[in-house]
Structure 1
Amino acid sequence: MKKLLSIIILVGLVASLVACGPKGPQLGKEEVAITFWHTQTGGNAKALTEMVNTFNATVGKEKKVTIKEEYQGNYTQLYQKILAAIQAGSPPDMAVAYESQIADYMKANAVIPLDTYVKALPKASLDDIFTGYIETNKFPQYKNQMLSFPFTKSLLVLYYNEDMLKEAGQRVPTADKPFTWDEFEKAVMACTKKDASGKVVQYGLTLGLDASTIDGWIYSRGGKLLTDDNTKVRFNEKPGVDAFALIDRLFKGSYAYQTKGYDYQADFGNKKVAMFFGSSTGRPFVKDALTDKDTKKERFKWGITVIPQSDPAKPVTVMYGANVTVFKTTPLKEAAGWEFIKWFTDTPQSVKWSITSSYMPIRKSASQNADLIKAWETDIQGKQAFDVIQYSRPEPNVRGWQDIRTILEDALQSVMSAKATPQAAMDAAADKANKALEEAK
């Protein structure tokens, strides 16, 4: 992969000079069709197709723009296909991508800055977008240029079984009064039950391997992932080590256990576990897992909220989810790509996409939309997640972070399996991560 990236970089440097920003030709004079690569499947894919068709029949028809959306597999597969397409000189016109992937594309000078387009938005429209969603698309390594725009956003939250917490004598956390980490640890222990033989029959917490969750733990403890100049990692400082130390205690005490894939959803639904960390987009799957198939009623009260905090007065969690980026093709296609982005992320479309996909709306005004308010009547946890957006912070978008995610997950695995102490795991991960950052320069 690194060899492929090196080839792509050379191609990009030879192909063009760094652009000052898109100038945007006038649309509507000639027909233009653009390809849009994405990762959506199932109901989300159907909803996206319907929205693309709506655009093509309305704004697209007026401005002679046709969007051709194409599924390209999961995010890793999409990333690999785009790298190959850039090398071949035939990238898509537009695609969804994570920030660290976009940083790789830009190293090859393959995407366009969107600053000129974004600055042309009315101030009220720009201010309506959650600040974090804008900031995550600005890339410090590239003069803080905006290389993408928010598209499918979600955030790290804590899922909890309200009935189990109350039965164990624990309070129910809320967005304005989240658990402290000490309260969380006590709640996990209190919710754990054993039978007469000493076998655990109900756990307080289940965990999978996810770098974003680790990042969230560190943020919520007041820690930083990188130095201010983005050249070294800082996750092996006290906040990161304390986060791993908690996991170490919970696993050694049999209060927590590891699950693979999405098994935690079924375990939560079957009342095997009281809490887990997950994406806000997972709530329809969780709801399905805990709904009785015969009565169609939920088996227990549950909710989602911001993750535990060292300072509940200043809560922080991780935002994630892909953005959309526009590749360097022709000025006309680039302008057409932005026209679709602008339409898709306006409040009516943002609300519709949120309702159908369970992603978070990117605009504050969505909370006043009648359709979304109606949807929240049966998706209470959707409103709970929306209330957490204001506390979300983006993860690093520097080159090399894609590799660092795997390094962090390996470190967590070593702690959960008792193969390394929290400090040793974090220090070893930091050494590897710093090398990854150096190699990615």
Structure 2
Amino acid sequence: MKRSARALAALLVSGLALTACSSSGSGGSSDDSGAPAASALDQASGVTTVEFWHSMTGKNADALTALVNQFNAAHQGKIEVKPLFQGTYDDLIAKYKASVQQKATPAVVQVYDIGSRFMVDSKQIVPAQAFADKDGYSLDDLQANIRNYYTFGGKLQSMPFNSSMPLLYLNDDAFKEAGLDPAKPPTTLAELGEMAQKLTKKDDSGKTVRYGFGAAIYGWFVEQLLAENGALYCDSDNGRSGKAGKVTFDSAKGAEIVQWWADLVKGGYAANTGRQTPDAQAAFKAGTVAMHLESTGVLRGYTEAAKFTVGTAPFPKTAAGDQGGPIIGGASLWISGPGHSDAQKRASWEFEKFLTAPEQQAVWHTGTGYFPVNSKALELPADKEWVAKYPQFQTAIDQLKGTKPTQATAGCALGVMPQARKGVETAIEQTIAGTKTAQQALTDAAKELQPAIESYNSSVG
């Protein structure tokens, strides 16, 4: 899902000072006292209502509703979860900020990955870690890299739910036509560039009918490539040991990545479909692009829509010696503290535990294509059957298992991350257009972002 980065960044900066002032100590982001014991539900009278805000649509919403109904049936007369769709992830964040000001937050809220820093700084939540510690509940079954993303200060802040990761998608038929073996995909950017040249096809008039490579101009991909290299996107250990004070994407490695992308486009070997993700996806499904960067979330749709054999490969490294790995995407579930009874907090935790249990994650994975956040889900027969039907997904499983959780693969936790991403996208466009070198474009993007970073950090203290 593409994001309105500038609007969201302004929203987060403008609202945080008020959110911080509105919070109470028991709802702080690392206050274990905010997690009530299981007895809170036993002592509650009547039905405890849990208002749950989310951004799922289509088949994802159907799968979520089915899980909510299952949970409610199992807790009839005790807990009732009421799912409420709030629009896009950006829309939801805006409404959540307003609900804080009105002291009417939902009990549970689904927030996308790069909104995590804001949620922690809002001081409105009770960390998942606090409940786990209170219960002696093990979090070991959660996928290590997914858990790593939502961990701040050594504590899991939210429960991962709908997670995805990047892949390199292949048109296997185009590979064979070009004399290439799809079982031997490119592993580095240099190899990808070489294969893109061989996969590019023109008709008799000289018009390009198939590009070797194509992806949306989306800052997420640059973040992924930096993480694959083991490089950090922002300081303070990628914002994990403290609030990030500046971005570091304007490094020599960052410039190398952007220049590589621009050179492929200017050389005629990569399609330039712009920033809109649907346009890039349509080009791959139509067969006019042979290699394509996207997330695991589109795999099922691709295999069903494409008229060619869809292959997958691990996200490429910037160079053969890279020791990093990919960053997960998606969203997680946060439990609100201030303004909610102990029974509501506890009921919210029970709901989150239910959603992330192996059985429910297998249902969620097979129904949506999102990566199961619970590693044991992959061991269940229904999940194994799904992977057998879509063997391309095994690439994602192997890629995640092979990635060591580090500060680089945790991703940058920056309060104005949406705006940072937009800045990188502008830098890519400028480099492709030739108005700036990759290094200058990224340097300018970092400089332009700095006031927003400082404003955000000062608003949260």
Question: What's the counterpart of residue 449 of structure 2?
Answer: 433
How far residue 17 of structure 1 moved from its aligned partner, in angstroms, is: 6.5
Question: What's the counterpart of residue 61 of structure 1?
Answer: 76
* Counterpart check, 1:156 vs 2:166: yes
* Counterpart check, 1:326 vs 2:361: no
How far residue 77 of structure 1 moved from its aligned partner, in angstroms, is: 0.5
| Alpha carbons of structure 1 residues 117 and 7: separation in structure 2 relative to 1, 3 Å | closer
Sequence identity of aligned pairs in percent? Answer: 26
| Alpha carbons of structure 1 residues 409 and 13: separation in structure 2 relative to 1, 3 Å | farther
- 1: CA distance, partners of 2:55 / 2:205: 47
- 2: CA distance, partners of 1:106 / 1:312: 35
| Number of aligned residue pairs | 425
How far residue 89 of structure 1 moved from its aligned partner, in angstroms, is: 0.7
TM-score (norm 2): 0.86
Contact 1:317/1:391 (<8 A) preserved: no
Q: What secondary structure does 1:70 align onto?
A: strand
How far residue 245 of structure 1 moved from its aligned partner, in angstroms, is: 1.1
Q: Which amino acid aligns with 1:38?
A: H
Contact 2:167/2:396 (<8 A) preserved: yes
1:369 to 369, 380, 386: 380
Question: What's the counterpart of residue 34 of structure 1?
Answer: 50
- 2: CA distance, partners of 1:184 / 1:129: 33
* Counterpart check, 1:97 vs 2:111: yes
| Alpha carbons of structure 1 residues 220 and 171: separation in structure 2 relative to 1, 3 Å | farther
How far residue 137 of structure 1 moved from its aligned partner, in angstroms, is: 1.1
After TM superposition, the structure 1 stretch with the greater mean CA deviation from structure 2, 249-258 or 106-115, is 106-115
How far residue 132 of structure 1 moved from its aligned partner, in angstroms, is: 1.2
Q: Which amino acid aligns with 1:361?
A: P
Question: What's the counterpart of residue 295 of structure 1?
Answer: none
| Alpha carbons of structure 1 residues 383 and 136: separation in structure 2 relative to 1, 3 Å | same
Deviations 1:60-102 (A, max 9, x none): 237x111111111010111111011111110111011024423
Contact 1:376/1:382 (<8 A) preserved: yes
2:320 to 301, 311, 317: 311
* Counterpart check, 1:222 vs 2:233: no
2:369 to 358, 381, 393: 358
How far residue 362 of structure 1 moved from its aligned partner, in angstroms, is: 1.0
How far residue 130 of structure 1 moved from its aligned partner, in angstroms, is: 1.2
Contact 2:49/2:82 (<8 A) preserved: yes
* Counterpart check, 1:77 vs 2:87: no
- 2: CA distance, partners of 1:417 / 1:257: 14
Question: What's the counterpart of residue 335 of structure 1?
Answer: 346
Runs of 4+ in 1 over 4 A off after TM superposition: 13-18, 120-123
- 2: CA distance, partners of 1:16 / 1:51: 27
Question: What's the counterpart of residue 147 of structure 2?
Answer: 134
- 2: CA distance, partners of 1:381 / 1:121: 38
Aligned CA RMSD, in angstroms, stands at 2.3
- 1: CA distance, partners of 2:263 / 2:402: 27
Question: What's the counterpart of residue 63 of structure 2?
Answer: 47
* Higher RCO (CA-CA < 8 Å; seq separation 6+): 2
Q: Which amino acid aligns with 2:32?
A: C
- 1: CA distance, partners of 2:435 / 2:266: 12
Contact 1:320/1:395 (<8 A) preserved: no
| Alpha carbons of structure 1 residues 313 and 256: separation in structure 2 relative to 1, 3 Å | closer
1:203 to 201, 211, 214: 211
How far residue 205 of structure 1 moved from its aligned partner, in angstroms, is: 1.2
Structure 1 gaps of 5+ residues are 291-298
TM-score (norm 1): 0.90
Q: Which amino acid aligns with 2:177?
A: E
Contact 2:162/2:370 (<8 A) preserved: yes
Contact 1:221/1:311 (<8 A) preserved: no
How far residue 385 of structure 1 moved from its aligned partner, in angstroms, is: 2.2
How far residue 147 of structure 1 moved from its aligned partner, in angstroms, is: 2.0
| Alpha carbons of structure 1 residues 390 and 437: separation in structure 2 relative to 1, 3 Å | farther
- 1: CA distance, partners of 2:262 / 2:388: 39
Deviations 1:219-257 (A, max 9, x none): 223322122253222211122111011111101111112
Deviations 1:369-423 (A, max 9, x none): 1001111222222233222222453322232223212222222222233332111
Contact 1:102/1:325 (<8 A) preserved: no
- 1: CA distance, partners of 2:435 / 2:217: 15
